[in-house]
Amino acid sequence: MAQDSSRALTPGRIAILGYIRLMDALSSAVAVIAGSLLLAGVLAVCHMIFMRYVLGQSTIWQTEFAIYSVTGAMLLGAPYVLMNGGHVAVTVLPDALGGWIRKAMYLLSALVGLAFCVALAYSGWHYFLEAYHLGWTTGTVWNPPLWPALLPLAIGISLLSLQYVAEIFRRES
Protein backbone atom coordinates (compact mmCIF):
# COMPACT_ATOMS: atom_id res chain seq x y z
CA MET A 1 0.00 0.00 0.00
CA ALA A 2 1.53 3.31 -1.08
CA GLN A 3 1.54 6.13 1.42
CA ASP A 4 0.09 9.48 0.37
CA SER A 5 3.04 11.88 0.06
CA SER A 6 1.04 14.70 1.70
CA ARG A 7 0.60 12.50 4.81
CA ALA A 8 4.18 11.19 4.94
CA LEU A 9 5.83 11.55 8.32
CA THR A 10 8.60 13.95 7.40
CA PRO A 11 10.61 15.62 10.18
CA GLY A 12 8.61 18.82 9.67
CA ARG A 13 5.29 16.98 9.91
CA ILE A 14 6.46 15.13 13.03
CA ALA A 15 7.39 18.48 14.60
CA ILE A 16 3.99 19.96 13.73
CA LEU A 17 2.12 16.95 15.12
CA GLY A 18 4.28 17.13 18.25
CA TYR A 19 3.46 20.82 18.64
CA ILE A 20 -0.25 20.12 18.27
CA ARG A 21 -0.10 17.33 20.89
CA LEU A 22 1.92 19.54 23.25
CA MET A 23 -0.53 22.42 22.97
CA ASP A 24 -3.52 20.11 23.41
CA ALA A 25 -1.96 18.66 26.57
CA LEU A 26 -1.04 22.11 27.89
CA SER A 27 -4.50 23.51 27.16
CA SER A 28 -6.09 20.52 28.90
CA ALA A 29 -3.85 20.91 31.95
CA VAL A 30 -4.55 24.62 32.24
CA ALA A 31 -8.28 23.88 31.87
CA VAL A 32 -8.03 21.89 35.11
CA ILE A 33 -6.59 24.98 36.80
CA ALA A 34 -9.42 27.02 35.27
CA GLY A 35 -11.96 24.60 36.69
CA SER A 36 -10.33 24.90 40.11
CA LEU A 37 -10.53 28.70 39.93
CA LEU A 38 -14.19 28.49 38.98
CA LEU A 39 -14.87 26.20 41.93
CA ALA A 40 -12.98 28.57 44.25
CA GLY A 41 -15.09 31.47 43.00
CA VAL A 42 -18.32 29.56 43.59
CA LEU A 43 -17.20 28.58 47.09
CA ALA A 44 -16.32 32.22 47.86
CA VAL A 45 -19.82 33.30 46.79
CA CYS A 46 -21.36 30.57 48.97
CA HIS A 47 -19.21 31.73 51.89
CA MET A 48 -20.28 35.33 51.27
CA ILE A 49 -23.96 34.37 51.25
CA PHE A 50 -23.55 32.37 54.46
CA MET A 51 -21.68 35.21 56.20
CA ARG A 52 -24.16 37.88 55.13
CA TYR A 53 -27.51 36.20 55.40
CA VAL A 54 -26.97 33.51 58.04
CA LEU A 55 -24.46 35.14 60.37
CA GLY A 56 -25.41 38.73 59.56
CA GLN A 57 -21.78 39.81 59.16
CA SER A 58 -20.24 41.99 56.49
CA THR A 59 -17.89 40.56 53.91
CA ILE A 60 -14.63 42.06 52.77
CA TRP A 61 -12.86 39.82 50.29
CA GLN A 62 -15.40 37.43 48.79
CA THR A 63 -16.86 39.57 46.00
CA GLU A 64 -13.48 40.68 44.71
CA PHE A 65 -12.04 37.17 44.98
CA ALA A 66 -15.02 35.70 43.12
CA ILE A 67 -14.68 38.24 40.31
CA TYR A 68 -10.96 37.61 39.89
CA SER A 69 -11.17 33.83 40.16
CA VAL A 70 -14.08 33.45 37.72
CA THR A 71 -12.47 35.88 35.27
CA GLY A 72 -9.20 33.95 35.61
CA ALA A 73 -11.07 30.71 34.95
CA MET A 74 -12.55 32.16 31.77
CA LEU A 75 -9.19 33.41 30.51
CA LEU A 76 -7.29 30.23 31.36
CA GLY A 77 -10.04 28.02 29.93
CA ALA A 78 -10.14 29.80 26.55
CA PRO A 79 -7.40 27.67 24.89
CA TYR A 80 -9.23 24.46 25.86
CA VAL A 81 -12.49 25.83 24.46
CA LEU A 82 -10.76 26.73 21.17
CA MET A 83 -9.18 23.27 21.01
CA ASN A 84 -12.63 21.68 21.30
CA GLY A 85 -14.33 24.08 18.87
CA GLY A 86 -16.48 25.62 21.58
CA HIS A 87 -16.16 29.28 20.64
CA VAL A 88 -19.13 30.92 18.98
CA ALA A 89 -19.03 30.65 15.20
CA VAL A 90 -21.51 31.54 12.48
CA THR A 91 -20.87 28.96 9.77
CA VAL A 92 -23.77 29.50 7.39
CA LEU A 93 -21.66 31.05 4.62
CA PRO A 94 -18.62 28.72 4.88
CA ASP A 95 -20.90 25.68 5.03
CA ALA A 96 -22.78 26.86 1.95
CA LEU A 97 -19.61 27.59 -0.03
CA GLY A 98 -17.50 24.59 0.94
CA GLY A 99 -14.23 23.58 -0.70
CA TRP A 100 -11.20 25.82 -0.77
CA ILE A 101 -13.29 28.94 -0.01
CA ARG A 102 -14.37 27.41 3.29
CA LYS A 103 -10.76 26.55 4.10
CA ALA A 104 -9.60 30.06 3.16
CA MET A 105 -12.31 31.66 5.31
CA TYR A 106 -11.30 29.51 8.28
CA LEU A 107 -7.64 30.40 7.80
CA LEU A 108 -8.41 34.11 7.51
CA SER A 109 -10.57 34.11 10.64
CA ALA A 110 -7.94 32.11 12.55
CA LEU A 111 -5.21 34.54 11.50
CA VAL A 112 -7.32 37.53 12.58
CA GLY A 113 -8.02 35.82 15.91
CA LEU A 114 -4.33 35.02 16.30
CA ALA A 115 -3.31 38.62 15.57
CA PHE A 116 -5.81 39.94 18.12
CA CYS A 117 -4.64 37.44 20.75
CA VAL A 118 -0.96 38.19 20.18
CA ALA A 119 -1.60 41.93 20.62
CA LEU A 120 -3.69 41.29 23.74
CA ALA A 121 -1.08 38.89 25.16
CA TYR A 122 1.66 41.47 24.65
CA SER A 123 -0.43 44.12 26.39
CA GLY A 124 -1.43 41.66 29.11
CA TRP A 125 2.18 40.83 29.95
CA HIS A 126 3.09 44.53 29.92
CA TYR A 127 0.18 45.33 32.25
CA PHE A 128 1.01 42.40 34.56
CA LEU A 129 4.68 43.38 34.83
CA GLU A 130 3.80 47.01 35.47
CA ALA A 131 1.39 46.03 38.26
CA TYR A 132 3.95 43.64 39.75
CA HIS A 133 6.95 45.99 39.69
CA LEU A 134 5.02 49.07 40.82
CA GLY A 135 3.17 47.21 43.56
CA TRP A 136 -0.32 48.10 42.37
CA THR A 137 -3.19 47.12 44.61
CA THR A 138 -6.92 47.08 43.98
CA GLY A 139 -7.68 50.05 46.22
CA THR A 140 -10.58 48.29 47.95
CA VAL A 141 -11.10 47.52 51.63
CA TRP A 142 -9.40 44.15 51.12
CA ASN A 143 -6.71 45.82 48.92
CA PRO A 144 -4.82 42.78 47.59
CA PRO A 145 -2.01 43.19 45.06
CA LEU A 146 -3.35 43.44 41.53
CA TRP A 147 -0.77 41.30 39.73
CA PRO A 148 -2.31 37.90 40.67
CA ALA A 149 -5.56 39.03 39.07
CA LEU A 150 -3.72 40.08 35.89
CA LEU A 151 -1.57 36.95 35.55
CA PRO A 152 -4.41 34.80 34.10
CA LEU A 153 -4.88 37.42 31.36
CA ALA A 154 -1.24 37.21 30.32
CA ILE A 155 -0.99 33.42 30.57
CA GLY A 156 -4.44 32.61 29.20
CA ILE A 157 -4.24 34.80 26.13
CA SER A 158 -0.65 33.71 25.42
CA LEU A 159 -1.78 30.09 25.51
CA LEU A 160 -4.80 30.99 23.38
CA SER A 161 -2.42 32.47 20.79
CA LEU A 162 -0.34 29.29 20.79
CA GLN A 163 -3.49 27.17 20.56
CA TYR A 164 -4.59 29.22 17.52
CA VAL A 165 -1.31 28.24 15.85
CA ALA A 166 -1.97 24.58 16.73
CA GLU A 167 -5.49 24.81 15.28
CA ILE A 168 -4.18 26.35 12.06
CA PHE A 169 -1.64 23.52 11.78
CA ARG A 170 -4.34 20.94 12.59
CA ARG A 171 -6.58 22.25 9.81
CA GLU A 172 -3.76 22.50 7.30
CA SER A 173 -2.25 19.07 7.96
pLDDT-derived band at 96, boundaries 50, 70, 90: confident
pLDDT-derived band at 6, boundaries 50, 70, 90: low
pLDDT at 12 over 70: yes
Q: What is the mean pLDDT of residues 110-129?
A: 98
pLDDT at 4 over 70: no
The model's pTM is 0.89
pLDDT at 32: 99
pLDDT at 125 over 60: yes
3-state per-residue secondary structure call for the chain? CCCCHHHCCCHHHHHHHHHHHHHHHHHHHHHHHHHHHHHHHHHHHHHHHHHHHHCCCCCCCHHHHHHHHHHHHHHHHHHHHHHCCCCCCCCHHHHHHCHHHHHHHHHHHHHHHHHHHHHHHHHHHHHHHHHHHHCCECCCCCCCECHHHHHHHHHHHHHHHHHHHHHHHHHHC
pLDDT at 101 over 70: yes
**Exposed / middle / buried, residue 141 (Cβ in 10 Å: 0-12, 13-18, 19+):** exposed
Question: What spatial distance separates the first Cα and last Cα of the chain, rounded to whole Å?
Answer: 21
pLDDT-derived band at 5, boundaries 50, 70, 90: low
pLDDT at 77 over 90: yes
Q: What is the mean pLDDT of residues 24-36?
A: 98
- Residue 54: DSSP 8-state: I
